[in-house]
Structure formats: C-alpha cells, structure tokens
Amino acid sequence: MGYALDIYWKGDSRRVSFQDFLLYMSFFPQIMAGPIARSESFVPQIKKKKVFNYDDVANGLRRILWGLFKKIVIAENLKQYVDAVYDNPNMHHGLTIVVATLFYTFQLYCDFSGYSDIAIGSARIFGYKLIENFKVPLLSKSISEFWRRWHISLSSWVRDYVNNPIQYRYRHLKSIGVIIAVFATFMIIGAWHGPRWNYMIFGVIMVIAISFELFLKDWRDRFWGLLPSRLSNVLSTIIVFLVFSFCGMFLRSESLSDVMVLLNNASFSMDRFYTGSTSVIMNAIVGMLILAITDLRMTNSQFDEFINGNIVIVRWAYYLGLTIAILSIGVLDGGNFIYFQF
Amino acid sequence: MAAISSTSSSNTLLKLSIKAALFILLLVALDFMIGTSISSAYFELDSGTSGATINRILNTRSDIFIMGASTAYHNYKPSIMSRILNKSVYNAGDDGKSIAHFYGLLRMLSSRHKPKMVIWDISNGDYLWPTTGKSVKDLLPYNKDQSLRSLLIDADKDNRIALYSKIFPYNGKIANILYSYLMASESVEDSLNGYEPLYGSVDFDNLPRSQNAYQDMIDLDLSFNGQKQVKVTQKYFRKFIEYAQQNNVHLVCVYSPRAPLTKEYETTLLLNPLLMKELVSLNVPLIQITADTDSRLNSLSSFRDLYHLNDDGANYFSEIVSHQLAEYINW
C-alpha cells in the first residue's frame, strides 16, 4: 500500500521493476511481522552488489542472539504466568492481575522487539539494512515519545501516510485538526491489530493520552519543572509504562468482557495471590535484569552498536552468557511470536 | 582492484570462521563445566520441584508402584493401600506426565529393582493426546540410556540436537536444583510415599465453565486425532504394556473417578471406547470406579476439582480400589 501511495504521490521515479517489487514484498526476514520496509530505502539496496562483509555478518549475528534471548528467555518465561491469568480471568483476583498485566508489557516488548532484532539481524547478514523498530520504548517519558520508539516502522508509516496528510488537510482547524489526525492514526493502528473492539479501545485510550499531553503541555512542563529532573524523568517513565500496561490489557484479553472481569477483580490485595512456577518467574526476572542493565546502557543505540562499544571481554561475556542463558533458562518449546496474529 | 577486494573478503571470512570456532569451543567448554556441575548436584537430590523425585523413585524398593499423571499423583494413598494389600506401595505419579514418561521410568526402575506390580491410573490422554517434549522433560537428565534417548527424540525432534548440550537436560530447573542442593539439610521426608494430597472441595463459583467441562474434555480428546505425536503416544502406550508383560510385571489399569456434575448436566467423563478396546486386545485388566458406580463418590465434597479427589476422597478411594486390586495379587 505504501508503495502504491508513493507512486501516486511522488511520481513514476519511484517505480521499480516487477522482479525488484516481488523481492521487496517477499523479503523473508520481514514478511511475517515487519519491520515494515519502505521501498525508497529497500529497493536501492537490492541493486547494490552484495559481497561478504564481516561487520554486516557479525552485527547481524549479534542482533539475532539478542533477539533470541529476549524472546526465549524473557518473553516465553513471562508468557507462562500471563497466559495462566489472562486465559482464566474469572479465576484470578487482586495483585495477581496487576502483576500479570505488568508482565505482559515486558512479554510483548521482548517478544516483538526480539522478533524485530532477529529480522533485522538476518537481513543484515545478507547485506540489507532494515529500519529499526524499537528504541528502548519502555524508558519513554511521554506517550508521544513512546510511539516514536515503539514499532517505529508502523508508527512512522501511519505518521507519513495517514497522520501527516490528514493534519495538513485540516490544518485550518489547528489543535482540533491535530486531534482528528491522531484519532484517525490510532484507529488505523487499532484496526491493523485486528477486527476487535478491544483494539479500537486501545487506540481510543492512546488518542486520549496523546491529546492530554498535547493540550496540557505547558501545565505538564511547569509541573515536572517543580521536581528535580532525575525524579521527574523516573516518574514520567513509570507513568507512561503504567498507561501502556493498562492499554496492554485490551491487546491481550480475548474479549471486552474479559477486560471487564479483570478490571473488576484487579486490586492490590495479596489475597489468593497466584505465584505460578517460582522457577519460571525466577528465570524471567534474571532475563529482565540483564535486559534492564543492557537497555539502560544502550539508551538510543541498538544492541550491535552498544556491544561494539565495549571491550572484548565484555563482548564475549555477553555472547557466551546469552547463549548459556538460552540453553539453561530459556523456554525452547514455546509458541509463536505474538505479532504473527496481528 | 578486484583481486584486492577478493583477498580482503576471504581474509574477513577467515577471521569470522576463526572467531566462530573459538566461540563454539568456549561454549562447549562452558557448557561442559556448568552442565557437569549441575548434573552432579542433581543426582544428589531426591526431592524438590526439579524432577529429582525420579532419583527417589529409582532408589525405592517397593512391591507396587502407582504410575500415571495427576490423577495418580493425587488420588492414591500408599499408606492405606499398603495396609490393605499387605505389600509395599509407592506412588510414582506426577502432574502432566505422559505414558512415554512412565515407560522410560519403568525401564529405569526395572533395571535396578523390578516392581512386582504397576497400577496404572489411566486416562484418555494416555492414548489420545499428543506426546510433547514437556511431558517427558524430567527424563532428560537420564539421556545416557540409549532407549531413553530415542524416546526423548520421539517426543521432541529438537532433542536430537539439544542433547549434545550438558546444560540443556536441566533447562529451566537450574535455580530449583541449586536451591534444593544448597538447602540439602532441609531435605523433605517422603512419609507419604510419593502421594501429594489436595485439600478443599470443588468450588463451582471459581469454575464457571465447569458445567461444560466434560464435553470440552471429550472434544479435546478427539481434537488431536490424526496428529503425528498422537501416534507416538500410542506407540509408547503399547510399549509400556509390552514391556511390563515381557518382564513379568503385573499391570492393572484403574480409571479413577471424576467429579459428578450437577443434575442438569449429570454425566461422568468416561474412558474412550478405542482405548478400552486396545486394553482388551492387549489383555490388560481395567478397574473403573466412577461417581456412578459408587454412591459415596457421587458427592462434590470428595473432590478438590473436577478431575482430582481431595485428601478425604483419596482416603476412601484408596480403600475401595485396594479391595478390588486384591484379587490381582497372587504372589
């Protein structure tokens, strides 16, 4: 669709041969769940002569290893707890639901960003550079920033092909025009996830959150300015994390009625707390600690760039440590990637 | 220019190959060191949630072993059965285990101390459900035995490669093994001979879908029909029986009761006719005790959930099943 719109808006200069178009559409690392490659960046790479490049292969392998770690060690261990709660919403109460909801945010992030890392790494081995899909989104300080760091290839696609044209069309309405564009953007993001009311409501909550940030920007800046910057950064990151986790309930639940049951049963009560398998939780926590340490140090870079900035002992400790972690605490017979269903 | 590029490319390829070889070498060494350490800790254990209870089972010299998944684990009380049958009884059942697991266990057990009788708490899952890697995972540490190795590969093809690793057999259990090993002084005494009691009664408020549960189970049983891994289940179903018969281990199947549902949905989950036919053809005796055949079991107060008896229910069931089993004990 993006390619067709490019031709329509930007003219025949974007046209490519049928053979290149087929390769662009069916390029195996990204065909299942992105990152959504743009023809303008991908097609020129097809034409480039491919030779063995040590850096491409080494960086590609590093990204694949990091992606496998996130998927197999973190997402798959967390999945067991999250599924136990979300597949039986009537049977769980209190803090269990809160914990499962927070776990789901990490599971979703590790599952999807893990897939993206594997896709980007695989493409890199063959000499293709795909668009980055995640930039440590769970450390965002606002919802708007979150969407600049989460599923970047989709959010930038809808920004360029939906949000910007609508915003331009309704520019005379000023802020209202922006809200209309944001609303249309998130309805499309919601619908992209599937034909369910859950996903639409997920989109609506995002529109409300972004509108809130937009309209109350001055007020928010003044409020956060009252606090020491480090504290305001931590608090705003936590708030964004909690808002996204709440929205995650709509993504994970089977139906709206399940969401209502979960919201009704959720509280901070420890009564009848479901512990699940302690070893599974321990394994997931070990994985999340490694992720947190790495993500905090990576800030805006990617794993391959981050790892290249370390001395050889640290680099090799990472490679061996991640592989041993996959073998020892990873769930190797887990399920598909979550985003394959969308 | 092209020659320089080609040389540079082959140099970098060589560099990558050397690094890859070094990585594999280090990985194998680390895997060996960690795996061997975990392995020696594991074989010191005989309790905990790491699957090390198998070590206890293998070191137990009992006349009768109870085998089967969760319904075996929670429904049969060895102390009561032992008193009535006048034989030593050990409950080797475990949650979520397949018949392939018990075939492997019976083989290992027989090579050390052959039991005189195995009471197999049977369910439709033993014949109609696919065998998964997870259902035999606890046998992974014993993969040196060639017959177990092929069983593990039958259950999950990936094991063919994964078993080259020394760590992999302990995948997901390392924290438990280390915890149990370091807390060895607090080793659990197995006064219940493998039995795991459940307390409380069926709470229908927490099981809103229970009224359809048996139909769901019947649908589930049939839903796997034709899957390749169901054939693996049926292969080990037959091998288990044949192995017991060839080694003169008396094998008796028992179908333990499921909770009776409300009058409106009055039905008890029954064994699948195909499975029963197979048992008849292989000459394996079957005892069925259901809520319909025993009035005291026709009460929810004996059940912890739809499929498992609570401790009171297990006391009663162990007594009546022992009286029926007595006729098979002629040794």
A319: nearest CA in chain B? B23
Q: What is the DSSP letter of B139?
A: G
Give me the pLDDT at residue A271, please: 79
- CB-based contact B308:B206 (threshold 8 Å): no
Residues of chain B with C-beta less than 8 angstroms from the C-beta of A277: 49
Residues of chain B with C-beta less than 8 angstroms from the C-beta of A124: none
Q: Name the minimum distance, in Å, from the CA of A108 to any CA of chain B.
A: 21
Q: Exposed, middle or buried: residue B295 (CB in 10 Å: 0-12, 13-18, 19+)?
A: exposed
Q: What is the DSSP letter of A338?
A: G
- Which pLDDT band, with edges at 50, 70 and 90, does B190 fall under? low
Give me the pLDDT at residue B266, please: 47
| Collapsed DSSP state (helix, strand, coil) of residue B252 | strand
Q: What tokens does B206 get? A: 């927490």
Q: How far apart are CA B178 and CA B180, in angstroms?
A: 6
Residues of chain B with C-beta less than 8 angstroms from the C-beta of A331: 172
Q: How far apart are CA A334 and CA B171, in angstroms?
A: 13
Q: How far apart are CA B232 and CA B217, in angstroms?
A: 21
Cβ–Cβ of B16/A90 closer than 8 Å? no
Chain B interface includes A331 (CB < 8 A): yes
A72: nearest CA in chain B? B172
A93 is annotated as an active-site residue: no
A93: nearest CA in chain B? B206
A61: nearest CA in chain B? B20
Cβ–Cβ of B172/A283 closer than 8 Å? yes
- CB-based contact B314:B74 (threshold 8 Å): yes
Calculate ∠ Cα B169-B173-B176, nearest 5°.
145
Chain A interface includes B130 (CB < 8 A): no
Q: pLDDT tens digits, residue range B47-66? A: 777 778 899 999 999 999 99
Tokens 């046209």 -> residue: A15
| Collapsed DSSP state (helix, strand, coil) of residue B251 | strand
Between B211 and A196, the higher pLDDT residue? A196
Give me the pLDDT at residue B118, please: 96
Task: Mention every residue, 6+ apart, whose C-beta is less than 8 A from residue A61.
Answer: A121, A125
Q: How far apart are CA B320 and CA B63, in angstroms?
A: 19
Give me the pLDDT at residue A226, please: 85
Q: Which residues of chain A, if any, have pLDDT below 70? A: 1-2, 11-15, 31-34, 334-342
- Which pLDDT band, with edges at 50, 70 and 90, does B211 fall under? low
Calculate ∠ Cα A149-A306-A68, nearest 5°.
75
Between B9 and B93, the higher pLDDT residue? B93
- Percent of chain B having pLDDT more than 90? 54
Chain A interface includes B305 (CB < 8 A): no
Q: Name the minimum distance, in Å, from the CA of A54 to any CA of chain B.
A: 6
Q: pLDDT tens digits, residue range B99-132? A: 999 999 999 999 998 999 999 999 999 999 999 9
Residues of chain B with C-beta less than 8 angstroms from the C-beta of A57: 16
Q: What tokens does B114 get? A: 């052959």
A81, A148, A176, A204 from A161: Cα distances, Å: 38, 15, 19, 19
Q: What tokens does A166 get? A: 């609508």
Residues of chain A with C-beta less than 8 angstroms from the C-beta of B31: 324, 327
Query: Number of CB pairs < 8 Å for A and B?
Result: 71
ipTM of this model? Answer: 0.79
Q: Exposed, middle or buried: residue B248 (CB in 10 Å: 0-12, 13-18, 19+)?
A: exposed
Calculate ∠ Cα A240-A241-A245, nearest 5°.
115
Give me the pLDDT at residue B188, please: 56
Task: Mention every residue, 6+ apart, whose C-beta is less than 8 A from residue A209.
Answer: A143, A243
CA A102 vs. chain centroid, Å, equals 15
Q: What tokens does A246 get? A: 């709440």
Task: Mark which residues 238-277 of A lie under 8 Å from B by CB.
Answer: 277
Of A92, A151, A172, A193, the catalytic one is A193
- CB-based contact B81:B323 (threshold 8 Å): no
Give me the pLDDT at residue B259, please: 83
Q: What is the mean pLDDT of residues B252-264?
A: 79
Chain B interface includes A319 (CB < 8 A): yes
Chain B interface includes A51 (CB < 8 A): yes
Q: What is the DSSP string of B206-243?
A: G-TTGGGHHHHHHHHHHHTTT-HHHHHHHHHHHHHHHH
Phi-psi map region of A194: left, alpha, beta (phi>0 left; psi -120 to 50 alpha): left
* Residue B91 dihedral angles phi and psi, to the nearest 5°: -95, 110
Give me the pLDDT at residue B265, please: 47
Task: Identify the bridge partners of residue A223 per DSSP, sorted by sequence position.
Answer: none
Q: How far apart are CA A187 and CA A206, in angstroms?
A: 10
In this prediction the pTM is: 0.83
| Collapsed DSSP state (helix, strand, coil) of residue A253 | coil
Chain B interface includes A91 (CB < 8 A): yes
